[in-house]
């Protein structure tokens, strides 16, 4: 996902006035809660499985965010 985001960004800004702009990405870890044993786990990989009881009945608590927090523009003085 992060790589494809960077790749899409490059395609998007190519030959526009944003060409050369940098995409800064803050990664939010995915946290799941298990409905079977109640354990809350921060996922290392994108596998929706409770590591405590191997149950797949889990709820995604965070990590689904996709938010643009700021766009900074630098005006070059020619």
User: Please, which residue, 14 or 54, has the CB nearer to Zn ion?
Assistant: 54
Q: Is 36 in the site for Zn ion (CB under 5 A)?
A: yes
Q: Is 47 in the site for Zn ion (CB under 5 A)?
A: no
User: Please, which residue, 25 or 61, has the CB nearer to Zn ion?
Assistant: 61
Give the tokens for residue 7: 């790749």
Q: Which residue has the tokens 């070059």?
A: 76
- Provide the 3-class DSSP secondary structure of residue 59: strand
How many other CB atoms are found less than 10 A from the CB of residue 58? 20
For Zn ion, the binding residues (CB under 5 A) are 34, 36-37, 39, 50, 52-53, 55
């Amino acid at each position: 996902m992060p790589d494809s985001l960077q790749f899409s960004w490059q395609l998007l800004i190519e030959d526009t006035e944003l060409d050369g702009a940098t995409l800064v990405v803050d990664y939010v870890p995915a946290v799941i809660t298990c409905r079977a044993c109640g354990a809350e786990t921060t996922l290392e990989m994108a596998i929706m499985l409770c590591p405590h009881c191997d149950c797949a009945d889990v709820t995604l608590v965070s990590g689904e965010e996709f938010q643009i927090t700021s766009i900074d523009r630098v005006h070059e003085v020619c």
